[in-house]
Amino acid sequence: MTSSTPGALPSFFQRLPVAFGAFFSVLGNPAFAARVIALSQPAAEVAAPPAAAVKPAPVPAPVMKEATPDAALQLLGLLQRDARLIDFTQEDLTQYSDADIGGVARVLHEGCRKVLREHFTIDPVRPETEGSRLTLPAGFDARGVRLTGNVVGQAPFNGTLCHRGWRVTETRLPKLADSHDVRVLAQAEVEL
């Protein structure tokens, strides 16, 4: 095959092996076929009369709401009070053995669990047991289910439940006085 000058159209004999190669690549490679289809789309739209070209309605941008930090700071304060969470995370653990850290982790776990149970009702997003097979129908709640692995095509999707997920169904945070400073997660203690 002789090379053509840049910008010159290829001859029939130069196009022939390209056509056969493209034909078999389209049959054997779905990704290549998708690229060929994408290349052919603009040409089809140009050839169509302007009235036939329908533009999809623009999708409105999601409304973003700003979260106030008060409830998050209140929760951090509760986790510090009952589980000493901030004390634990601020500590340099490199000087302690795994056994020492494990003992503290048990106390931390119990305190965190107490706070969550006292102030929230938390239920699984999915009722099935982890490891079970399930089918997600078209229109499934994508806010509550994240697809992982080889995600191709459209629902219904068949897969294995790796994690049931968690959803808060009730929140019971204590009411705060106007004078309460939620930024103070734990008061400094001074022994006299």
Share of the chain above pLDDT 90, in %: 55
pLDDT, tens digit (0-9, with 9 covering 90-100), for 136-174: 999 999 999 999 998 989 999 999 999 999 999 999 998
Buried b (16+ CB within 10 A) or exposed e, 138-162: eeeeeeeeeeeeeeeeeeebeeebe
Q: pLDDT averaged over the chain?
A: 84
* CB 173, CB 71: distance < 8 Å: yes
Tell me the pLDDT band of 37, cut-offs 50, 70 and 90: confident
Whether the pTM exceeds 0.75: the reply is: no
Mean pLDDT, range 41-69, rounded to an integer: 68
Kindly report which listed range (5-19, 61-75, 77-91, 136-150) carries the lowest average pLDDT score. 5-19
Using the predicted structure, report yes or no on whether residue 35 has a pLDDT greater than 80: no
pLDDT, tens digit (0-9, with 9 covering 90-100), for 38-50: 776 654 454 555 5
pLDDT, tens digit (0-9, with 9 covering 90-100), for 77-128: 999 999 999 999 999 999 999 999 998 999 999 999 999 999 999 999 999 9
* CB 61, CB 167: distance < 8 Å: no
The predicted pLDDT at position 44 comes to 45
Tell me the pLDDT band of 53, cut-offs 50, 70 and 90: low
Quick one: DSSP state of residue 131? T
